[in-house]
């Protein structure tokens, strides 16, 4: 991962082939004490793991795709869960036939590149989005 731009409110990161975007963003948030942010990403992936949340079962139904895909759009939030950075990220992807698929992103491995734009909602330590486990849904909701 390479930091392309950094200022008080924004970060632009570039991930290269083979890099895990989810792990990279979480590590970056931890190192830079980002506890409240909105993010967006575009690029290409060679492996993704998506989840669809089954509310009745209170669990994600996961599926892995190992093929070249365009990251049409990925967006989400950086928050805090149990004193650690938490990433809530959804995405839409397209294949070589222009067919799309989407869902909750558990894993995203860059193919050529993925560009991530992070909009911090406060200076380090001044804003914090907290997540807590909701027993009714089984999800970690903003609180």
Residue 123 pLDDT greater than 90, yes or no: no
> Residue 1, Cα to own-chain centre: how many angstroms?
14
Q: What are phi and psi of 9, to 5 degrees?
A: -110, -15
CATH architecture of 2-122: 2-Layer Sandwich (3.30)
44, 114 Cβ separation under 8 angstroms: yes
- Tell me if the pTM is above 0.75: yes
- Close Cβ partners of 82 (under 8 Å, ≥ 6 residues apart): none
Number of H helices, E strands in the chain: 1, 9
Give burial (CB, 10 Å; 0-12/13-18/19+) of 12: middle
Section 58-80 average pLDDT: 99
* pLDDT tens track for 94-103: 999 999 999 9
Domain ranges of the chain: 2-122
pLDDT in tens, 20-50: 999 999 999 999 999 999 999 999 999 999 9
Q: How far apart are CA 140 and CA 44, in angstroms?
A: 28
Pairing of strands 2-6, 59-65: unpaired
Residues 60-98 as b or e (16 or more Cβ within 10 Å = b): beeeebeeebbbeebebbbbbbeeebbbbbebebeeeee
CA–CA separation, 46 and 49 (whole Å): 11
């Amino acid at each position: 991962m390479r930091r392309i731009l950094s200022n008080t409110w924004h970060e632009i990161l570039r991930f290269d082939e083979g890099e895990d975007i989810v792990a990279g963003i979480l590590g970056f948030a931890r190192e830079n004490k980002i506890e409240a942010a909105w993010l967006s990403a575009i690029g290409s992936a060679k492996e993704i793991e998506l989840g669809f949340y089954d509310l009745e079962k209170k669990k994600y139904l996961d599926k892995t795709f190992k093929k070249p895909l365009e990251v049409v759009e990925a967006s989400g939030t950086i928050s805090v869960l149990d004193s650690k950075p938490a990433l809530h990220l959804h995405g839409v992807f397209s294949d070589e036939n222009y067919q799309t698929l989407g869902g909750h992103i558990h894993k995203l491995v860059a193919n050529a590149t993925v560009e991530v734009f992070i909009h911090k909602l406060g200076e380090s330590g001044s804003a914090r989005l907290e997540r807590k486990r909701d027993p009714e849904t089984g999800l970690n909701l903003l609180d």
